[in-house]
Chains A and B, each alone.
Chain A
Amino acid sequence: MSAGYHIVVCGGIVPDPLQTLEPVQGPAGWGLKNELMLPAILDPWAGHALFEAANLAKNVPGSKVWLVSMGPKAKLQQVMMTIAQKVPFELVVLDGPASGFADAHETGAALAEAIAAIPGLDTSKLLVFGGWQSASRGAGATMQVIGEKLGIFEQFQGVDKLEVLADGALRVLERVEGGSYQDSVVSGAPAVFGWATGELPEPPNNPQVGMQNMRLVMPALQKAKPVKLEKGPEYSGVQIPSQKRETRVVKDAPVDQIAKEIVDWLSA
């Protein structure tokens, strides 16, 4: 396909999963304790989608990648400093909440509106990429909502592989139960793909790519449209999963005893 694709990747930011994420109820509803202090990263699921998008764009001449992201501006800027070194893209920013407690429908609607407003976007070439689920909210519904709002009904979730066939059709491998794949072929764009882990490693940092991206990232952050999500579910309670970690030093314990203790601990 010579005309190329217009690939829009939807990628939110999440607190670094290495940090302790403790839910607390604030005046604006549920959130994470000290969330503004926590380092943020691009949602790993969306990260896979972005790397796959960049790879597809590289292999299909004439393609272009946009990253549409909703989150607090200052946090997005920090995340972009890392992400922008990886692959070329143009950033579209929505200055809004990135918490795992936001409603998927509201979030999807805001993202769809932002995608529809991208100047020069050709919907006949449009491929919408995103994370199948999210590190902050595993509902897996946001991508579906975005597709519905944009009127794209060819949707694939849990995608691990996307291949462009000789006739321009797209072959998709989706994860299904039992570790199997569903093998589908769609005639072409437009389509929505919620990525699982894909099959590409994280690209190395490339300062030249970063330099190119940043010239667009900074203006995008300055032009960020504020978004306020009002509706959404009411949480009656949120708890951090109980940690079973305990430190004990035992010297010279036989292997069998260690194994037994681990089994007992797991089944306790």
Chain B
Amino acid sequence: MSEIERQSMELDIVCVGFGPAMAGFLTTLTRGLADENGAPLLESAVMPGMPPQVICYERADDIGFGVSGVVSKARGIKESFPDFDPAQVPMCAPVAHETVAYLLDPHGASRRQELLGFADKALGFAGKYTSCCRDHAYELPYIPPFLCKEPGYVFSIGQFNQWAGSQVMGSGLAQIWPSMPVARVIMEEGKVVGVRLADQGVDKKGNPDACFMPGMDIRAALTVIGDGPVGPVGRNLDEILGLPEGNSQRDWALGMKMVVDLPEDCDLPEGYVLHTFGYPEPDIFGFMYVLPDRVASLGIFVPSWLDTPVRTGYRYLQHWMTHPYLWKHLKGGKMRSWGAKSLLESGRRGEPHLVGDGFARIGEGSGSTNVLTGSGVDEAWTTGVMLAEGVLKLMKKNQPFTKYNLERAYVKRRRESELEAEAKIAEKARDGFGKGFIQGLTGMALSGFTKGKLNMPGDHRDPNQRVPSIEEYYSGLLSAQEIEAIREECAAKGEPLHDALMDRVGWPSIEYDGQLLVSHQDALLMGGKVQAPGGYADHVVFADPNVCLKCRERICIDMCSGQAIAPDPEGGAPLFDREKCVHCGACVWNCSKPHPTEPGRTNVEFKAGAGGLHSVEN
């Protein structure tokens, strides 16, 4: 087929993805483009007489949709807004109290190392005679300084992004366009010269259909990519350029969360921060942040090193919420919104090429998340600020956005920052989890207290090389015949395996209450409010369907946050339903099969797509 004729538009700077990093970039950039009286300081190269033309394209239906709640020291944000008043941003409060709790397993269903089982028994025994262990949980008497977030804020990133976005747009010096997915970068002679927007009016496979409108080519001197860890544009660039020598993106986690109206008798104070570990599986971490007006943001992180081939974030979230230590606060509460997001936990080790001729990377997709301190929003914001400072410097000197210039203006600034120093400490902090939960915790403590001088070695294979078969994982609990029978039963019903297997190995059923504990599908309707505008191609694609046919684990189905990937009752590759996808990207890194041509990737491709979660409260 001959190349489709596309419209083209020239800008000075084109940005991809509006998250905390881009908010930091555009906030700093727009401030530098005008003087105190609002008069432009710089002139557009593509539109003489006008200020520089800066546009940011965002996939979601509005800015701030489909991200998650956070506790942050907010150092970078406070530097950008020295007079920051949390009352200006809905759902934002200063951190008031922090607790870290180890949760015992009240049901005996989770997989625990022998030593941990022994420790659990000891804690349970001690709890009978002392107050150190109540409600099957042990509150740590001491929180390591690297984990403390005080003085900081708890807030909804969605609300914060909307607030920051409205400030940027109010300046009139940058435009942010939601519901406009970007398909890929445009490269010419090794230089990024802009981006191509996703085609509209196409069928599920991307073929022209009614109202076909080819995605425009947006050409710009500088392309800023901040589309997160599973963003198609950043991933597209990584496929072209590869990662820098020695870097890899193998550590991930799925964050699944809810925003909840707490029951009236809940006495947790505003600004309360709780972090948990130990349950529902030892290395699933949980969090609860109490926001203003008796609203809480809570959820879990299911990491890639949890080597179970059958893992569902949603059910694990419900088991975590109903743990006695949490349920005493949550019983009678009501779900306001719900969502999920992938986190790139490789941090600095997952850093891609930060700059090249005509482009720069910022935010989580640029490896800014700090896995030791468990923070990423402020770090992402700070990368955006650093890039903007560099870009302004180059623009004022009328220097082109070459790799050399961007290295000096941005990368050098980043390398010399506190952010980089902390990222180095965190780089190997979680390696130990690849060997086991106890090794993981030991490794974190070692890294944290020695400032990264000592670390626990780990297992750093790709998830698709680590995941055992279902039979191996359940050996000793279920026979291969039993598993096969469950597999056939689920296939006949077109259902995923995880519920049936979890039921069989002792996990209790969830007693739905219709307002906080509801079925996964009801959560999509009541809490996620997923939107999928028509006319776009499916963005989850199985690279080689034949590989899926032979796959016995199918984690893509079990891990799918929105139950958007389902077994094909006719026996084919899994089916994808765009109307349910929350764009968390868990399928990309959970797949247990390598890509047919690029072994470093999985058999699932995650392309540009519109819609996703439709709530600003996340």
Contact = CB atoms under 8 A, between A and B. Distances in A.
Interface of A: 16, 18-20, 34, 36-39, 74, 77-78, 81-82, 85, 201, 203-208, 210-211, 214, 218-219, 222, 245-249
A17 to B, nearest CB: 10
A205 B58 CA distance: 12
B614 A207 contact: no
Interface in B496-547: 512, 514, 518-519, 522, 526, 529, 531, 535
B65 A39 contact: yes
Given A39-B62, A77-B170, 13 more contacts: A39-B65, A77-B166, A78-B162, A78-B165, A81-B169, A82-B62, A82-B178, A85-B179, A85-B180, A205-B180, A207-B57, A218-B172, A245-B514
Nearest to B8: A208
11 contacts: A39-B62, A39-B65, A74-B170, A82-B61, A205-B200, A206-B213, A207-B177, A211-B175, A245-B514, A247-B512, A248-B512
Given A39-B614, A39-B616, A85 B177 contact: yes
B172 A247 contact: no
B152 interface: no
A36 B165 CA distance: 15
Given A82-B61, A246-B514, A249-B512, A208 B179 contact: no
Interface residues of B, number: 44
Closest 5 CB pairs of A and B: A204-B200, A18-B529, A37-B90, A218-B172, A247-B512
A249 B200 contact: no
Contact of A204 (B57, B172, B213, B529): B213
A18 B525 CA distance: 9
Interface in B566-609: none
Contact of B180 (A19, A38, A207): A207
Nearest to B175: A214
A249 B514 CA distance: 11
B615 A207 contact: no
A109 B226 CA distance: 45
A34 B90 contact: yes
Contacts of A245: 514, 522, 526
A205 B179 contact: yes
Nearest to A248: B512
Contacts, number: 91
Contacts of B61: 39, 82
A222 B177 contact: no
Interface in B168-195: 169-170, 172, 175-180
B235 interface: no
Contacts of A214: 175
B55 interface: yes
A82 B514 CA distance: 34
B243 interface: no
Contacts of A34: 90
Nearest to A33: B293
B7 A208 contact: yes
A39 B615 contact: yes
Interface string B356-368: 0000000000000
Given A18-B614, A207-B218, A246-B514, A37 B159 contact: yes
Interface string B199-218: 01100000000010100101
B553 interface: no
Interface centre among A37, A85, A218, A222 (most CB of B within 10 A): A37
A255 to B, nearest CB: 16
A219 B170 CA distance: 10
B326 interface: no
A201 B213 CA distance: 15
Nearest to B53: A211
A97 to B, nearest CB: 18
Contacts of A248: 512
A218 B169 CA distance: 8
Given A19-B615, A82-B179, A247 B514 contact: yes
Contact of A81 (B172, B177, B519): B177
Contact of B614 (A16, A81, A82): A16
A207 B9 contact: yes
B63 A78 contact: yes
A244 to B, nearest CB: 11
Given A37-B617, A78-B63, A81-B176, A211 B535 contact: no
B9 A81 contact: no
B336 A37 contact: no
A211 B519 CA distance: 43
Given A201-B211, A207-B9, A208-B7, A19 B529 contact: yes
B317 interface: no
Given A37-B90, A82-B61, A204 B615 contact: no
B197 interface: yes
Nearest to A17: B529
A82 to B, nearest CB: 6
A166 to B, nearest CB: 29
